Chains A and B, each alone.
Chain A
Amino acid sequence: MSTDSAVWPSTGLASRPLVDTLHEWITTVDHKRLGILYMAYALLFLVVGGIEAAIMRVQLLRPHNDFVSPQVFNRLFTMHGTTMIFFVLMPLAFGFANYLVPLMTGARDMAFPRLNAFSFWLTAFGGLLLYFSLIGANGLYGAGNAPDVGWFAYAPLTSKTFSVGHSTDFWTLALLVSGFGSIGTAINLITTILCMRCPGMTLGKMPLLAWLNLVMSGMVILAVSPLTAAQLMLLVDRYLGGHFFDTQAGGSAVIWMHFFWIFGHPEVYVLVLPAFAFASEIIPVFSRKAIFGYPVMVAATICIGFVAMSVWAHHMFTVGLSSNANTFFVLSTMAIAVPTGIKIFNWLATMWGGKIEFKTPMLFCIGFLFQFLIAGLTGIMLGAAPFDWQLGSSYFVVAHFHYVIVGGILFTTFGAFYYWFPKMSGKMYSEALGRLHFWLFLIGFHLTFDFMHIPGMLGMPRRIYTYEPDRGWDIWNLVVSIGVVFQTLGIGFFLTNLIWSYFRGRVAGSDPWDAWTLEWSTTSPPPAYNFASIPRVKSRRPLWDLKHPDDPDWKYE
């Protein structure tokens, strides 16, 4: 395998006019640039969605607060949820997949570079469409408003009767458009992973990141499409006078719930599989050990992919399903804990006996292990129908899924940012700022989301804009809101670190972590063609083989 990528003389990019550089970025079909565009776009929306969350926490700081009106509060939680799922986490997942999958599988680009660019711009347009509702939702009447139907937009809230104007239409179209983008990228990723791997890289020798993204893409195809179908039905209802979700004409509001959650629950796994992918790459490198139980990890991933498609109605226990349906969805929900548990034990076994280096990416992954475990445990609690009847739609649920999304997904994604930042920018990030980010965010996360469980158990429903002082919720809401300050500071240091290190960081070199997968064999940042000559691999850790010719992995695999 050749690792000596040709070193090209600096082409003096800095001296070129800004317009040229911008034009290059806008017309690019390079998977690395599109990956970075996805990530930059997601970080922008992370800040926007974070501000929305912060405003809500200010409103809930104390009882009878009137920082924002009830109407604005409804719009805030709708926009926060929609933004974070569709325009932060999905683009982050696709951004990293775009950047890393071709590099880690030894390909020069994705299978369909132009489809890739098209998908990104669809996603970007979807986000703009969602936020254009602030201006455009009331059309010519001037005062705009944002969608206020909640991120799962239950019928009949979305009917013309209860949602006048166009705010719901902006929500529908934004999700429809970005959904097409997601399906395009998913098809692209699957094709890339199946058809473009370098010689010698059989499916059993792919990095786990590629495996997890393969399963994630399959799930995107099967999960996002039902959402597309449901959004089309909603458009038929709203514009053509259809009755899909119109109970006055015999339609059913519950069928919207089914259609939404057939998308909605697999979506959680679509988002968490990339997080697993990051952990599966970062933990071995910083434990200085090969991943424990590679085949079992792959099997568990595929198992999660299948089981995740059959658990959706655990979001609907409080609706009143038949007892057979309840039993089925309780059992399938419990069952998915098994492959997930296998993964956690495999990561722990990877660390066991390893020479652990507590660098920032590893810190975030260790945080993930603890927090994802707790998130899984509260998930099992809520997966038991009787428990869910008590605590469904309470702050306990909000705490649970934020534990998954922030404590699980966002933590590993931060780890991934630090881990691959040297590859993407060619510069090292600041370890001190990274640690500061980790500790501040960890404290903020636990202040906010640990203590959010308690008002939930005390009966505080989600989505209320204020509450009475005598319920015993005051102190908990105060603590939850204080946590936001720490999280905001953490994010601030994170963004500062990225920007400062990009300009001032020391040069990273091609392989700062002494890692083992193919992306570290090329220069940092990689050239447009990735590899001067296509690598050939013989094991799951091609760079280990290269660095230890006396004791290569392929002898044992």
Chain B
Amino acid sequence: MQWEYSARGRVAMFGLIAAEAAIFTIFVVAYIFYIGKSLTGPTPKDVLSVPIFYTICLLSSSVTIHVAVKALSKGNVRGFGAWWLATITLGTAFMYGTVTEWHRLIYQEGLTISKNLFGTTYYSLVGLHGFHVIVGLVGLSMIAILTLRGNVRTAHAERVDVFSLYWHFVDAVWVVVFTVVYVLGR
């Protein structure tokens, strides 16, 4: 069995994803362990509403980034740029959803990170995921700027594809977070 030298970016990204997955696993376990253990309100049932629209936004950004990378590997840089910007828009929409949700929870429902166990675990887990989305958006935007300046060519398709693995991972984590927080947790 012999890997190619050129596969090293991909191998390293899978290593990073494994490490990140382990970190998320611990946070998810803590969340599940503490479901229903809060001594005071508010409870998830009272205050959480299911963010279906923003979830669709984030999950469909996996499709757009995939189409973007495919376009680039076929030499269609303009198509790549368009789908890439669509990905950024969808990711930003998701973060906007998180911001409005947190704003409502903090100012209307009075749920803060120190309020009760639900607050602690909810903001930590969703916040950790949100942090990864933001890191992803920064990376996406940097590549977008390079694309607009005309620096991205077909030769970069492999690297862009490696980066897209991270974005797919962030989306996959959301599926778990969504299930745990908004389905199991309520």
Contacts and interface: CB of A to CB of B under 8 A. Distances in A.
A203 B22 contact: no
Contact of A194 (B11, B16, B25, B120): B11
A462 B39 CA distance: 36
B31 to A, nearest CB: 10
B120 A242 contact: yes
B23 A243 contact: no
Contacts, number: 113
Interface in A236-253: 236-237, 240-244, 249-252
B96 interface: no
Nearest to A110: B8
A221 B1 contact: no
Given A240-B113, A242-B114, A244-B30, A188 B12 contact: yes
A111 interface: yes
Given A112-B12, A236-B124, A255 B33 contact: yes
B37 interface: yes
B18 A221 contact: yes
A442 interface: no
Interface in A165-212: 183, 186-188, 190-191, 194-197, 202-203
A226 interface: yes
B76 interface: no
Contact of A242 (B1, B25, B113): B113
A202 B7 contact: no
A249 to B, nearest CB: 6
Contacts of A225: 19-23, 26
A195 B7 contact: yes
A236 B120 contact: yes
A316 interface: no
Contacts of B113: 236, 240-242
Contacts of B37: 250-251
B2 interface: yes
A470 to B, nearest CB: 45
B12 A183 contact: no
A202 B1 CA distance: 6
B19 A255 contact: no
Contacts of B30: 233, 244, 255, 259
B116 A191 contact: no
Interface in A108-164: 111-112
If over half of B's interface residues share one DSSP class (helix, strand or loop), that class is named, otherwise mixed; here it is: helix
A273 B30 CA distance: 30
B33 to A, nearest CB: 6
A186 B15 contact: yes
A250 B30 CA distance: 13
Query: Which range holds the interface residue count of chain B?
Result: 35 or more
Contacts of A222: 18-19, 22
Contacts of A224: 19
Contacts of B116: 243, 249-250
A195 B19 contact: no
Nearest to B28: A229
Nearest to A262: B26
A56 interface: no
Contacts of A221: 15, 18-19, 22
A230 interface: yes
Interface in B30-48: 30, 33-34, 37-39
Contact of A250 (B7, B12, B27, B34): B34
A232 B20 CA distance: 13
Interface in B164-179: none
B55 interface: no
Contacts of A229: 22-27
Given A191-B8, A191-B15, A251-B117, A259 B34 contact: no
A218 B24 CA distance: 17
A195 to B, nearest CB: 4
Given A203-B1, A249-B39, A255-B30, A244 B15 contact: no
A250 B3 contact: no
Contacts of B53: none
A225 B25 CA distance: 10
Contacts of B8: 111-112, 191, 194-196
Interface of A: 111-112, 183, 186-188, 190-191, 194-197, 202-203, 218, 221-226, 228-230, 232-233, 236-237, 240-244, 249-252, 255, 259, 262
Q: Report the 6 A-B pairs with minimum CB-CB distance, sorted nearest first.
A: A241-B114, A225-B22, A229-B26, A187-B15, A242-B120, A195-B8
Interface of B: 1-5, 7-8, 11-12, 15-16, 18-27, 30, 33-34, 37-39, 113-114, 116-117, 120-121, 124, 128
26 contacts: A111-B8, A111-B11, A183-B16, A190-B12, A191-B8, A191-B11, A191-B12, A194-B3, A194-B8, A195-B7, A202-B1, A218-B18, A221-B22, A222-B22, A229-B25, A229-B26, A233-B26, A236-B120, A237-B120, A240-B113, A244-B124, A250-B38, A251-B34, A251-B120, A255-B33, A262-B26
Given A183-B19, A244-B124, A251-B34, 7 more contacts: A187-B19, A225-B21, A226-B22, A233-B26, A236-B120, A249-B116, A255-B33
